[in-house]
Every structure is written in C-alpha cells, then in structure tokens.
Amino acid sequence: MKKVESKKDALERLGQFYIPVWENSDKSVANAIRIFREKWRSYSEESKRHNIITLIKQVIDPVVSGYLSSLPNQYLSFCPISREKCHYSDLIKLRGFRYAADQIHFYLRDFVDKSSQTEQDILFISTQDMLKSLFMICEGKKPNRSKLAPDINLKSDKKTRLCALCGNTTEFSQFMHTWTKHGYIERENNERNNDEKEGKKKRPDLSTNYCINHRPKLHDGSWNSLYKQAKRSAKQFEQEVLRLRRQIAHPDRQNAKSGDKLIDEYFYYFMLDSSLDPTNVPELRNLARKMVDSRLTDNKKRMLVLRRQNKSNKQIGIKLGEITGKPLSNQAVSKALGSVREAFKIY
C-alpha cells in the first residue's frame, strides 16, 4: 500500500502549486484533489489545450458525483450542484470560480445552522469546505503576464470578480473577457523576463474591485459621484444582497431573516414569483443596488406590507410609530408610498 505523502512534504515539493486537503473529508474527493494538484501547474482558464475547467471536469467532477450519490437525499438540498444534472465544472464555466466558492459557502452556512454534528455531517462540511478552498485557489490561476502591444503589458494574474458595489463585472474582468474572447492577447510561455523592469511599460488603468460605473475616479482623474453615492450605502447594499439571497434560496417561506417580521414578509411577496434562483448572484446584486439607489428603506418595505394588508394611512403611521418610536402622519405615509417605484410594489 502506497504511503500518503505528508502535508509538510507535499508543501515543500509543490511550493506555490500546493493545494490543501482537509482532515475528516471524504477520502475519494481528497485523493482527487491530490491528483489535481499534480497536474494543474501548466493549466489556466485562458488556455485551450490546458484549460483548468476541463481539468476540474476530468478529475474532480466524477469523484464528487460519486460522493454525492452515497449521501442521503437531505444533504443534496445543501449543495449548489446535483449529482446528476449539474457538476462543479458546469457552474464554474457559467459563473466562475469565485461564484462556485461563494455558493458552497452560502449553502454550507445553512447546513451548519441545522446540523446535528454527526460524523456524516462533519464529513460533508469538511468535504464541501475543501472544495470551496480548491475553487478559491483556482480563481487566480492565470498566465502571469499578457502582452497587448509592444509598449503595453498587463498582469493577468489579478483575480476577476464582480464589482464590490453592484452585480456587474469589474472593469478589469470585463477587459480581460473582451480581449481573450477575441484572441487579442498574445500569451507568453515564459512566466517572467528577468530583464523587464517595472514601470517602463504602460499599464491600462483598470479597476479590479469596481465596474466601470463605480470606479472611484474617472479616467480623466476626477472623482466619480456614482462611486461616492454607492460607497455611502455599501453597508445597506450588502444587507439587501444577503436578504435577497436568503429569500430566493427558500422562496416557499419567509426566509430573509432580517429580524423584522414585516420586512421578512415584504421579501417573501416580492420574490414569490421571481424567475431568479441562488445561482443568479449578479442579478441579485444588481437588484439590491436598485433597491438602495431607489431609497427603498425598511420603513417603506413595512408600509408596503401593511398596505397589502389593507391598512389605512393612519393605521400604517400608528403601527410604524410602535416599531420605530416615531409615528407618521397620513401625509408622510402617502408621500413615502408614492415615492416607491412600481417595480418594488407588492400586491
């Protein structure tokens, strides 16, 4: 029987190409990751011949499907893929490595809350967490440098992701997608040229954290007012994203978990007939951004629910006074409801 290489020895041998394997995880999945890390050195998302998503499909997907097939059905509702219809490579190809990792985290958090911490539960948690770690590491696996023109160099090992303030891709991500799609990037086989000096070549001024609409400064050097506005409401935006993702994960019940019954009820009715699902993260983030930019406050959400319950403006004002300690007049309620965009009303 072949002896399993120790973590220390594997780390020393593989260096930057080491991928961790979790204890108390499924042995077959852990072994698949060991095989994967031996092969992935020359792979990237851009390469056609050595595409890393194809490697996931060949090495990881079959083993994960086998593991899921061995689990009772109740575990599958806490997994972003199914054992038959969808594989992680499909999810990654559609949405990217970061999205796949985020989805595992999202489902796993719900599972941990409900878990009885049995041996099988711990095995499931550790295995899913190990896969999340794998995909987060793979997200940054790109050629170290791409040459766009003789005097322009771009480090393409920067991670691509969604904008921090909405659901659009970052300016850098969009640029990389456009150029790689049309084949304009000449990839170099050598990772680095020793004789190249930083600062002597032009680099595109592309934001890796924000989309073109929300980049802090415009290309002329002036501050972006949309960035400032969105940044002030960043906390509320993330809160709305979380509520939307929780609700759409279980649309059959009130699941926004806001801590307020009326707000939870609003999200239940608002998302009840939605065509979105937990995999539509960009769309959910853009929806949250529209909510915030439209000034759809929690008080307005409460008003909409109370109006749906056929409460009068006076009754709504009194009820809000009981919740917030500040009763509202008929006119204030009417004005607030009148300011709500049609898209956010519930009937």
Choose the final residue of a domain: 118, 139, 160. Answer: 139
> Which residue intervals of the chain are DSSP H helices?
7-14, 27-39, 52-55, 61-69, 73-76, 88-95, 97-114, 119-139, 171-181, 225-232, 234-249, 261-271, 281-293, 298-308, 313-324, 330-338
pLDDT at 146 over 80: no
Query: pLDDT digits over 217-258, tens only?
Result: 988 889 999 999 999 999 999 999 999 988 988 888 999 989
Q: Does residue 32 sit within a domain?
A: yes
Contact 99, 160 (CB under 8 A): no
pLDDT greater at residue 216 or residue 162: 216
pLDDT in tens, 16-45: 788 889 888 999 999 999 999 999 988 888
Q: Quote the pTM value.
A: 0.56
57 with 169, same domain: the answer is no
- What is the β-pairing status of strands 186-187 and 146-149? antiparallel
Q: Is residue 228 part of a domain?
A: no
How far apart CA 86 and CA 90 sit, in angstroms, is 6
Q: Are residues 242 and 214 in the same domain?
A: no
> 157-195 burial, b if ≥16 CB within 10 A, otherwise e?
eebbbbbbbbbbbbbbbbbbeebbeeeebeeeeeeeeee
pLDDT for the residue numbered 194? 42
Flag whether pLDDT at 3 surpasses 80: no
Task: Looking at the structure, tell me whether residues 238 and 206 fall in a common domain.
Answer: no
Tell me the average pLDDT of the chain. Answer: 84
Residue with the bigger pLDDT between 154 and 294: it is: 294
The torsion angles phi and psi of 182, rounded to 5 degrees, stand at -95, 0
Q: Does 338 fall in a domain?
A: yes
Indicate whether 209 and 246 sit together in one domain: no
Residue at 2 is within a domain: no
Domain count, the chain: 3
Residue 156 clears pLDDT 60, i.e. is over it: no
291 shares a domain with 327: yes
Q: Are residue 128 and residue 32 in the same domain, yes or no? A: yes
User: Can you give the residue range of the structural domain that contains 297?
Assistant: 234-344
The rounded distance, in Å, linking the Cα atoms of 12 and 178 is: 38
Task: Reply yes or no on whether the pLDDT at 158 is more than 50.
Answer: no
More confident residue, 192 or 40: 40
pLDDT in tens, 286-320: 999 999 999 999 999 999 999 999 999 999 999 99
Alpha-carbon distance values, 55 to 60, 170, 235, 284 (Å)? 8, 26, 38, 30
End residue of a domain, out of 222, 246, 265: 222
